[in-house]
Structure 1
Amino acid sequence: MSPDVVVLDYGSGNVRSAVRALEHVGATVTLTADRAVALAADGLFVPGVGNFHACMAGLAAADGPFVIDRRLAGGRPVLGVCVGMQVMFEGSTEPSAAPVAGVGEWPGTVSRLRAPVVPHMGWSPVEVPSGSTLFAGIEHERFYFVHSYAVHSWELAPPDATFAAVAPRVVWAEHGERFVAAVENGPLAATQFHPEKSGDAGLALLENWVRSL
């Protein structure tokens, strides 16, 4: 049976390409903001296009932070993409220097890229740690980025060795400076790039995620 995936519909731009890509790799996809449906799905896909502040406002109006938190508390998978990754952190300095609060699943603040050319737009390689499930078989591929803001450091402490928790796997890329390109952290995964716009490599990543549900 195909896994059920909800693409959270909270007003974040055109998400039809994400729906089509997820269907292509074998998911049964519902585009909705219905809280009960989003909570019950095998996987939740959180898109994000444009301004961090606007995305958080739309997410809050759809009760997205509650849905994300409840799913993760129950170990139910969530995948955030682009600004949908950025909102998982504590906040962002976009659009102004005063931080706008995010969902807060991970510590850290999203800030503007320090690079000669911004936005970062185009295909870039990524540095993938060993043991990645999300990037299995595509560790050396390039992915498509469109962003002006990013997370520049990983601040979550490693798990205590006395517990069975698995350390998060953090993927890096570079545009003027190193930034977090993706994270795998238990049921919560996210990418700064757009897998649905990253050709065969992006489809392979989405297929890896769907197969894990």
Structure 2
Amino acid sequence: MTTIIDYGIGNLRSLAKAFDAAGVPTERTGDPARIAAAERLVLPGVGAFGACADELAARGLTDVVRERARAGVPLLGVCVGMQLLFESSDERPGPDGRPHAGLGLLPGRVVRFAPALADADGRRLKVPHMGWNRLRTARPHPVLDDAGGADGGDWVYFVHSYHAAPTEPADVRATAGYGGDVPAVVGRGTVVGVQFHPEKSARAGLAMLRRFASWTPTPDQRLA
């Protein structure tokens, strides 16, 4: 069973429907006890990083999600849910001017796209990055299609103005080109995140959800 964490924000229904279309049974819950007993977890998210982080904390879910991830339970973060895996975000600092804290499961922070973003031909790129883009595998991961390789993999759907800036290059598993290499899939141990929306990414997205649901990490695959 795959448990989708319900903290009142996120693309819960569409994710649940996508898992259903992929043939993967799910439950949606915001109960800390249910989350603590889950076999694998999905952390969705849309909107602002700070609002999502605050709502997780207000519902008493921050610590239990951290504990389950560090215990070796597979955790998939989607869109802002992926960004929450990192230490902090530059998006809308708190009242004290300090960046909002994330779960701190992966080292690094979340930053906004550069103001003068341009493609290789010098053409200005819009922010948010919205639409289909192709994944480029940087390092293999069980949720990725091995057939894609570094020359180009699945086409997936993005909607975001901020992106992860991991401290450790090895945590970047796939990128997408948008004014440079943007981390699209990140992962370490049993924690993995995708910046795009698999539930909006047609067959490729469903296949990725299916691979996550069938991923059985080895006992030594825990966060360092």
Distance in 2 (alpha carbons) for counterparts of 1:138 and 1:6:
28
CA contact (8 A) 1:132 1:169 kept: no
Whether 2:144 is the aligned partner of 1:135: answer: yes
Shift of 1:83: 0.4
TM-score (ref. length: structure 1): 0.87
Q: Secondary structure of the equivalent of 2:127?
A: coil
Distance change in 2, residues 1:138/1:29 (3 Å): farther
Distance change in 2, residues 1:189/1:69 (3 Å): same
Q: Which moved more, 1:92-101 or 1:178-187?
A: 92-101
CA contact (8 A) 1:134 1:184 kept: no
Whether 2:97 is the aligned partner of 1:108: answer: no
Paired AA for residue 204 in structure 2: A
CA contact (8 A) 2:90 2:99 kept: yes
Shift of 1:14: 3.7
For residue 191 of structure 2, what is the aligned residue in structure 1?
188
Q: Secondary structure of the equivalent of 1:123?
A: strand
For residue 62 of structure 1, what is the aligned residue in structure 2?
59
CA contact (8 A) 2:29 2:35 kept: yes
Whether 2:162 is the aligned partner of 1:149: answer: yes
Superposed CA RMSD in Å reads: 1.8
CA contact (8 A) 2:138 2:175 kept: no
C-alpha offsets along residues 69-121 of structure 1, whole Å, 9 cap, x if unaligned?
11122211110000000011110111247411111111111111122310000
CA contact (8 A) 2:11 2:44 kept: no
CA contact (8 A) 1:168 1:186 kept: no
For residue 25 of structure 1, what is the aligned residue in structure 2?
22
Pick from 83, 86, 91: which aligns with 1:89? 86
Shift of 1:151: 1.6
C-alpha offsets along residues 127-176 of structure 1, whole Å, 9 cap, x if unaligned?
11353211125631111000000023x3137xxxxxxxxx6452111222
Q: Which moved more, 1:134-143 or 1:86-95?
A: 134-143
Shift of 1:41: 1.6
Q: Secondary structure of the equivalent of 2:20?
A: helix
Pick from 173, 191, 195: which aligns with 2:176? 173
Whether 2:213 is the aligned partner of 1:210: answer: yes
List, as ranges, runs of 4+ consecutive aligned residues in structure 1 with deviation greater than 4 Å: none
TM-score (ref. length: structure 2): 0.83
Distance in 2 (alpha carbons) for counterparts of 1:56 and 1:16:
20
Distance change in 2, residues 1:168/1:93 (3 Å): closer
Distance in 2 (alpha carbons) for counterparts of 1:175 and 1:47:
23
For residue 72 of structure 2, what is the aligned residue in structure 1?
75
Paired AA for residue 147 in structure 1: H
Aligned length: 200
Q: Which moved more, 1:71-80 or 1:133-142?
A: 133-142
Distance change in 2, residues 1:92/1:121 (3 Å): same
Give unpaired runs (5+ residues) of structure 1.
158-166
For residue 124 of structure 1, what is the aligned residue in structure 2?
133
